[in-house]
Amino acid sequence: MTYIDSKVWEGQTLRGGWTNIVEPATGNVIGRVGVADAQDVAAAAKAAAVAQRDWAAASFEERAAVLRRAGALIEQHAAELQAWMVRETGSVGGMAGFGTYVASQECYEAAALASRPVGEILPTAQPRLSLLKRVPVGVVGVISPFNAPLILSSRSVAPALALGNAVLLKPDQRTAVSGGFLLAQIFADAGLPEGLLHVLPGGPPAGEALVTDPLIRVISFTGSTATGRLVAEMAGRHLKRVHLELGGNSALVVLDDAPLDAAVSAGAWASFLHQGQICMTAGRHIVHESIADSYVSALSAHASGLPVGDPATAEVAVGPLIDEKQREKVHGLVTSTVEAGARLAAGGTYDRLFYKPTVLDDVTTEMPAYAQEVFGPVAPVVRFSTLDEAAALAADSGYGLSLGILTRDVAKGLELAERIPTGIVHINDQTVNDEAVAPFGGVRDSGTGVRFGGGANLDAFTEQRWITVRGDIPPYPF
């Protein structure tokens, strides 16, 4: 199967018409996909509910085998899948390679879920057997974003399928191929029975239909905090469980004893990888005042030296932003921060969608590029003098996704981390990390806690049923 040249997505007949897939680096149309409307969602939900019954009744060996084959196919066709991600998302090669690696691992880890114990024996005061049994929720709705589409779709799709559910997947229309149709083709080739995975790119009407359809009982949403709030409100009105993995404005705290060269390299990676379009990107560099000048100078040199360009045609470190709207948002935050008194130490300019890695110094906490999630290759730097001040600065955010602390004193780093509410902490590493085996999720405006990875998937995609068994019917007083 040649995935990069496949036109399988063009054969998808949906009622909402068609939309073009535009290559961010060139502006060229490289494909088109069908657009789903509310009727498409309703029809897919009905078909999925029917197919799910047999899938839930299938043996765990059968479900696990499909997931293992899907992981192997992703590995086998990694180069082709990566080539598509580079063109559709603007990802550089290394990030695309990470995408296929994590997606394959998500499938392998999900395969292991299929054989996990499905329940437990509970204590009871009655002469009976009392059991807890996990059962599939039925049909799961997955809404995934543009920035890491293969990872962020497979992270929900794979465990939901492994645990006996059917899935309706709504990828971002801009990355509907690598976020949806390629994954569907992988699972079809892996032997997933028909009707269990539906790919429905679409706008707000399709999203609303997905959240409100009565046959869809769980919503797994990855995206912006603003949209996540709307999804949660809508799901709440329909008494649906919703798992939210939202935005971030993660802090990288650099203590005075951190080795400067290593700290700067970690800081550059954390802010400039994938053009800063990662929820875990370091959006706030909180640096001890004694080393801050040297840190800013070295980080600016890194930023100025990173090659920027089309990742499909050259070896570059930074590719294009996803579209003009995102570029304007990034540039608006940078320029308004400079106008507020920050110093532009590097970058701050762009050519088409190629935004140069940017370093902002003399930043204060109320400035836009520090206070808001930029989602672009921008590193604002704030100074601190004491650990109390560092803790206060890092904790002073509505977000709580990832945290990096760089120091030679690991115990001091762990102690500092205890004072900063986040779902993820990395001592002596930067903020952008992901493993299929690890719990993943944020707190506060970054989401509803750990909803992905390991045992969290069991809670996300199954229901718990209480069952009791007696040998005889007991007598009752009436």
Catalytic residues: 245, 279
- Number of neighbours of residue 32 by Cβ within 10 angstroms: 17
- Give the span between the Cα atoms of 182 and 417, in whole angstroms: 39
- Give the span between the Cα atoms of 453 and 460, in whole angstroms: 10
Give the contacts of 140 (CB within 8 A, at least 6 positions apart).
156, 160, 165, 166, 167, 168, 216, 217, 218, 219, 220, 461
The secondary structure of 211-258 as a DSSP string is: HH-TTEEEEEEES-HHHHHHHHHHHHHTT-EEEEE----EEEEE-TTS
- Give the span between the Cα atoms of 208 and 381, in whole angstroms: 39
**3-class DSSP state for residue 355?**
strand
In contact, 166 and 55? CB cutoff 8 Å: yes
Give the contacts of 400 (CB within 8 A, at least 6 positions apart).
248, 421, 422, 423, 442, 443, 444, 445, 446
Residue with tokens 């296929």, as numbered in its chain? 100
DSSP one-letter code for 397: S
Q: How are beta strands 424-427 and 402-406 bridged, if at all? A: parallel
Residues of the chain by 3-state class (helix, strand, coil), percent to 5 = 40, 25, 35
- Give the span between the Cα atoms of 438 and 435, in whole angstroms: 5
- Number of neighbours of residue 28 by Cβ within 10 angstroms: 11
Max alpha carbon distance in the chain (Å)?
84
Identity of residue 307: P
Q: What is the CA radius of gyration of the chain?
A: 24
